[in-house]
């Protein structure tokens, strides 16, 4: 039961809309299919255009529901499908990687003569979406998924009836804008909507389009179906406002939903509801907007009491503060929580709060594991086969060839992804040549193409190493039998009778264990030519042998030449070895393992750095000098000035620690030295300086383009992630900044200066005496609490991302005026929707704005006030990789020519703002979403 299995009383879907809907551009992108419907029409209540499925699907039959109660056009008819072992699918066009709501509804409306109500399976592509169980004939059952399209279409299929026959009433596809409902798991999981509730609703009716421009269905909390929002805490009252509410957050809930709420006047809000298909991992949202006018001496502070999640439950919600103002939405989301079948949730006020908790809406969606569709290359071959006979039934079975049930003429493996193992197209009237692409179906074991009108040569099928049985008899194939047939390792049966093959039969086919039938190929030579054939074979074997000999000889010669060359070049590696030996000899010990920092004597370093003459930087550790070792290796030599004994011990620990850390995105420590009161660390030299130099520090470098910036962000993020999760004990950098991100000769980024990082203690919290770090990058939470966590690095990294986006320094009166620092400046712009205002003018031009948006978004999350709201580095990496894919991908968002255009800035910025931030423009929202008189 839960929202989806639905028990939505029919009336809930029938919204009485008084406001005539504005025709938003979104509507044209909606797909609304009336299954079984007889005509296309516009629903006067919603302004949505519905199309009949009569030209979309060939299967099943429309059934007119007997009752005429259904005043909604969509529910006058349904489409019933046969009860058999096939699947029946609708194919909806999508844009790859865009997110959509896919919704199906089912209203059975009994005809009175069925033995049992239908129960059957619903699939989206290869993923089992739901079991549809009709228990009440006059209810609309709603199933809703939020998906990111993986190709240019999605298939919605019904199949596998347990009782009755499968049917469908409506099918809806609603595109979402940009990053709405993005999750970290979307490569592997769909979101299956389990509850979306509007609290304090003004009526029983659900809210949807046009109140919600994305046509989500927000159920009313006064809906009185069983097990829906029971156990309401005493003192719960309903409040509403007609003031407009700023809902420009991540998911853009409709204002109407936010204008109502419930308040726990006795200090507690509590509800219980059932969630279909749970327990499961879920994404949960709470929507809070302060819609009461509190006087200055009043506060509303509360915590999530149930279910208890340590990370979330300890956080005090103070809506007005979290949202920075009343009538503004605060939208915390619980990214991955495990919930039970029965969800009991409650919010309790804190002791010092004068008002009880408030709640406007919730959404709960289950993570539904995506099952792999059949291997793409197999599918494309099957599609090509279908297009050879486009009107036949077998070519129109629809959906995925293997899942949930097989097409009638294929068999598949049970691997993931499934592969096609058998094709049976005997006597299907196929014309033309045997498709050469079949060669890519490596998993194929049986191929039946007999009894068709196939012509031409047999193509190269030599990759079909699993092929056991091939039927080609009774066609008009010609040409010679290709030699690879002898070498198919698993071939057991080959039938080619009644064709026009010519030439000689490869002898292996006749001698081997292959059952080979070749009668009635008049021009095919066989035994009669055998002797002759053997002679030829003999000659050719001799020829091959001679050739091999020759080849062998020349190869040998080549190798010898190569070796000599290597020996000549070997000089440099030789010196290096010698160098290493020298160091270890001085140390008196043995040579440390390769890749482990080794002791380098001071004189060697003095020689390498020409007596520390070329200073290239100053890190928190001390000065940095350029050096070149005897073997030619360029190094950066860091010297610390302070030589207190405390530091001394720290130094030893750190070298030990550092020499254990190796990662592609961390600057490698080569060696160290502690002599003559000096503590020296020797690192690999990074030729391209620091990231800061490239962004704003130096005129020597040309501006970085966006793909390079993304690469740098990704590299640096990986380095940090390794420190956080790949080291034991884990390491908090504590001074992440653009001058600690170095670029090597290939412009790949490596994080440096984690030499002074602290190890996290076993108990996870670390109290240090002084907040260390750099102004502009310092995590405010750490500053206040002195508790250093990985999330402090995440904060600083967020600042680096803003630098990458804007090309500006983190702190600057010049750039940010009174806001002073980049975080306040950038967040304010993002909140206003003006991401273009942030972007470094140098990277405008041919960039995909969606890619930039993705980075801006994650940067914004990184600099959340509270650590627990910030993503982990892993999640940051995923976001950056997303941005890279978008930037590389061929989806053309708003890309091509300068998305933020320097001319006509203000006007283009406005339209951009709306499309970009995926919001309805404020004006529209005020007109169409104002609360309607009901």
Ligand X SMILES: *[C@@H]1O[C@H](CO)[C@@H](O)[C@H](O)[C@H]1NC(C)=O
Q: Which residues contact 551 (CB under 8 A, 6 or more apart)?
A: none
281 binds ligand X (CB under 6 A): yes
**Beta strands 598-599 and 669-675: pairing type?**
parallel
Sequence-separated (6 or more) residues with CB below 8 Å from residue 814? none
Report the relative pairing of strands 453-456 and 476-480 from DSSP bridges: parallel
Tell me how far, at minimum, the Cβ of 828 lies from ligand X, in Å: 5
**Cα(690)–Cα(738) distance, rounded to whole angstroms?**
7
Q: Does 911 bind ligand X (CB under 6 A)?
A: no
Residue 25 or 768: the one with the smaller Cβ distance to ligand X is 25
Q: Which of 213, 254, 404, 627 binds ligand X (CB under 6 A)?
A: 213
Please give the Cα distance from 624 to 619 (Å, whole number). 7
571: tokens are 């000089």
Site string for ligand X, 778-817 (x = CB under 6 A): ----------------------------------------
The Cα–Cα gap between 379 and 126 comes to: 13
Residue 295 interacts with ligand X (CB under 6 A): yes or no: yes
The catalytically annotated residue of 735, 834, 840, 882 is: 735
- C-alpha separations of 466 from 374, 382, 440, 485 in Å: 18, 18, 12, 12
Residues of span 480-519 touching ligand X by CB under 6 A: none
Instruction: Choose the binding region for ligand X from 24-32, 151-159, 384-392, 624-632 (rule: CB under 6 A).
Output: 24-32
Question: 76 near 70, Cβ under 8 Å?
Answer: yes
Angle at 117 between CA 111 and CA 121, to 5 degrees: 125
Q: Does 908 bind ligand X (CB under 6 A)?
A: no
Of the chain, the end-to-end C-alpha distance in Å amounts to 30
Q: Which stretch binds ligand X (CB under 6 A): 531-539, 552-560, 619-627, 916-924?
A: 916-924
Nearer Cβ to ligand X (298/675): 298
Distances (CA, A) of 168 to 75, 118, 144, 406: 10, 11, 14, 21
Q: At its nearest, how many Å lie between ligand X and the CB of residue 192?
A: 12
Q: What is the dihedral of CA 313, 872, 730, 796, to 10 degrees?
A: -110
Query: Is 396 one of the binding residues for ligand X (CB under 6 A)?
Result: no
Q: Is 735 known to be catalytic?
A: yes
- 418: tokens are 């499934």
Which of 213, 692 has the CB closer to ligand X? 213
Confirm or deny that 428 is annotated as ligand binding: no
Instruction: Figure out which of the listed residues 39, 429, 846, 902 binds ligand X, where binding follows CB under 6 A.
Output: 39
**Is residue 919 at the binding interface for ligand X, with CB under 6 A as the rule?**
yes
Say how far residue 560 (Cα) sits from the centre of its chain: 51
Closest distance to ligand X from the beta carbon of 587 (Å): 47
**What 3-state DSSP class applies to 89?**
strand
Q: ∠732-736-737 over CA atoms, to 5°?
A: 175
* 202 touching ligand X, by CB under 6 A: yes
- For the bound state, the minimum distance from the C-beta of residue 418 to ligand X, rounded and expressed in Å, comes to 23
Report the C-alpha gap between 888 and 881 in whole angstroms.
10
Q: Give the relative orientation of helices 873-888 and 706-721 as an angle to the nearest 10 degrees.
A: 160
Q: Tell which positions 811-850 bind ligand X, by CB under 6 A.
A: 824, 828
Nearest CA among 745, 737, 639 for reference residue 689: 745
Candidates 23-31, 344-352, 553-561, 592-600 — which segment interacts with ligand X by CB under 6 A?
A: 23-31
Q: How many residues interact with ligand X (rule CB under 6 A)?
A: 29
| Shortest separation between residue 864's beta carbon and ligand X, angstroms | 12
Largest Cα span, the chain:
110
Least Cβ distance, residue 203 to ligand X (angstroms): 8
Query: CB 323 → ligand X: shortest distance, Å?
Result: 9
Residue entry with tokens 């999350």: 861
By CB under 6 A, name the one of 228, 367, 407, 518 that touches ligand X: 367
The nearer residue to ligand X, 170 or 609, going by C-beta atoms, is 170
d(CA 261, CA 241): 9
List the one residue from 71, 354, 572, 896 that touches ligand X (CB under 6 A). 354
Among 189, 287, 345, 795, binds ligand X (CB under 6 A): 189
Binding string to ligand X for residues 66 to 105, with x set by CB under 6 A, is what?
A: ----------------------------------------
Question: Which member of 20, 23, 40, 308 binds ligand X (CB under 6 A)?
Answer: 40
Could you give the CA distance from residue 171 to residue 101 in angstroms, rounded to a whole number? 11
Catalytic residue list: 735
Binding-site residues for ATP: 638
Binding-site residues: 638
**Residues forming the site for ligand X (CB under 6 A):** 24-26, 39-40, 51-52, 55, 177, 185, 189, 202, 213, 240, 281, 295, 297-298, 324-325, 336, 354, 367, 824, 828, 915, 918-920
């Amino acid at each position: 039961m839960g929202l989806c299995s639905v028990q939505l009383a029919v009336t809930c879907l029938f919204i009485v809309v008084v406001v005539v809907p504005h025709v938003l551009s979104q509507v044209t992108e909606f797909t609304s299919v009336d299954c079984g419907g007889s005509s296309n029409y516009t629903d006067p209540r919603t302004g949505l255009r519905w199309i009949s499925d009569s030209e979309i699907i060939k299967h099943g039959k429309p059934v007119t529901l007997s009752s005429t109660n259904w005043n909604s056009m969509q529910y006058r008819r349904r489409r019933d499908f046969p009860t058999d072992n096939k699947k029946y699918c609708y194919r909806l066009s999508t844009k790859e990687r865009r997110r959509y709501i896919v919704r199906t509804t089912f209203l059975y409306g009994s005809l009175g003569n069925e033995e049992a109500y239908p129960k059957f399976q619903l699939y989206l592509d290869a993923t089992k979406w739901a079991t549809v169980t009709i228990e009440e004939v006059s209810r609309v059952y709603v199933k809703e998924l939020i998906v990111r399209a993986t190709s240019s279409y999605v298939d919605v299929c019904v199949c596998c009836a347990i009782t009755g026959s499968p049917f469908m009433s409506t099918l809806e596809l609603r595109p979402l804008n940009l990053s709405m409902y993005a999750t970290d798991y979307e490569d592997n999981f769909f979101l299956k909507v389990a509850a979306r509730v509007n609290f304090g609703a003004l009526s029983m009716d659900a809210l949807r389009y046009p109140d919600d421009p994305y046509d989500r269905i927000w159920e009313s909390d006064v809906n009185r179906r069983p097990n829906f929002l029971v156990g309401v805490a005493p003192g719960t009252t309903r409040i509403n406002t007609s003031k407009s509410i700023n809902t420009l957050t991540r998911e853009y809930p409709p204002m109407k939903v936010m204008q109502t709420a419930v308040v726990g006047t006795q200090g507690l809000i509590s509800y219980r509801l059932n969630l279909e298909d749970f327990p499961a991992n879920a994404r949960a949202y709470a929507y809070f907007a302060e819609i009461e006018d509190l006087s200055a001496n009043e506060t509303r502070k509360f915590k999530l009491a149930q279910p208890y999640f340590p990370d979330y439950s300890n956080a005090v919600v103070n809506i007005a503060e979290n949202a920075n103002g009343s009538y503004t939405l605060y939208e915390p989301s619980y990214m991955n929580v495990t919930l039970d079948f029965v969800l009991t949730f409650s919010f309790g006020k804190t002791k010092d709060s004068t008002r009880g908790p408030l709640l406007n809406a919730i959404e709960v969606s289950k993570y539904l594991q995506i099952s792999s569709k059949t291997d793409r290359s197999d599918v494309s071959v099957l599609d090509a086969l279908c297009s050879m006979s486009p009107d036949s039934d077998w070519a129109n079975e629809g959906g995925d060839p293997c899942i949930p049930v097989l097409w009638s003429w294929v068999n598949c493996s049970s691997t993931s992804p499934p592969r096609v193992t058998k094709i049976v197209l005997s006597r299907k009237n196929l014309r033309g040549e045997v498709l050469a692409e079949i060669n890519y179906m490596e998993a194929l074991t049986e191929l039946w193409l007999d009894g068709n009108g196939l012509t031409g040569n047999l193509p190269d099928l030599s990759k079909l190493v699993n092929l056991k049985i091939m039927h080609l008899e009774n066609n008009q194939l010609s040409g010679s039998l290709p030699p690879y047939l002898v070498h198919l390792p698993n071939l057991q049966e080959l039938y080619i009778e009644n064709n026009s093959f010519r030439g000689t039969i490869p002898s292996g086919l006749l001698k081997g264990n292959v059952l080979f039938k070749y009668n009635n190929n008049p021009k095919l030579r066989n035994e009669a030519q055998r002797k002759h054939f053997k002679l030829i074979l003999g000659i050719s074997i001799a020829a091959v042998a001679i050739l091999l000999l020759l080849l062998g000889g020349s190869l040998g010669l080549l190798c010898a030449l190569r070796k000599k060359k290597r020996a000549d070049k070997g000089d440099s590696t030789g010196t290096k070895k010698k160098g290493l030996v020298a160091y270890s000899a001085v140390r008196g010990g043995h040579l440390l393992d390769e890749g482990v920092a080794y002791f380098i004597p001071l004189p060697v370093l003095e020689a390498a750095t020409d007596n520390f003459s070329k200073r290239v930087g100053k890190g928190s550790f001390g000065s940095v000098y350029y050096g070149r070792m005897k073997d030619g290796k360029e190094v950066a030599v860091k010297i610390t000035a302070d030589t207190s004994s405390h530091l001394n011990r720290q130094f030893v620990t750190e070298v030990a620690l550092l020499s254990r850390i190796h990662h592609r995105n961390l600057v490698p420590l080569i060696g160290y030295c502690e002599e003559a009161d000096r503590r020296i660390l020797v690192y690999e030299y990074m030729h391209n300086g620091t990231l800061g130099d490239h962004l704003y520090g130096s005129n020597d470098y040309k501006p970085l383009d966006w793909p390079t910036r993304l690469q740098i962000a990704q590299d640096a993020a990986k380095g940090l992630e390794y420190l956080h999760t790949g080291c034991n004990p884990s390491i908090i950098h504590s001074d992440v900044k653009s001058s600690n991100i170095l670029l090597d000769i290939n412009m790949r980024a490596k994080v440096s200066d984690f030499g002074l990082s602290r190890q996290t203690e076993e108990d996870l919290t670390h109290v240090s005496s002084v907040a260390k770090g750099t102004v502009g990058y310092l995590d405010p939470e750490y500053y206040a609490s002195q508790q250093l966590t990985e999330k402090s690095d995440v904060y600083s990294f967020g600042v680096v991302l803003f630098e990458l986006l804007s090309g500006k320094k983190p702190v600057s009166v010049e750039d940010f005026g009174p806001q002073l620092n980049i975080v306040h400046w950038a967040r304010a712009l993002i909140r206003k929707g003006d991401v273009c205002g942030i972007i470094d003018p140098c990277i405008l031009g041919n960039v995909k704005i969606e890619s930039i948006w993705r980075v801006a978004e994650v940067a914004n999350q990184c600099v959340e006030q509270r650590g627990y709201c910030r993503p982990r580095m892993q999640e940051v990496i995923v976001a950056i990789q997303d941005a890279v894919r978008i930037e590389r991908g061929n989806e053309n968002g708003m890309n091509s020519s300068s998305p933020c255009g320097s001319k006509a800035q203000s006007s283009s910025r406005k339209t951009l703002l709306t499309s970009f931030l995926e919001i309805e423009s404020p004006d529209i929202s005020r007109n169409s979403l104002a609360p309607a008189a009901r």
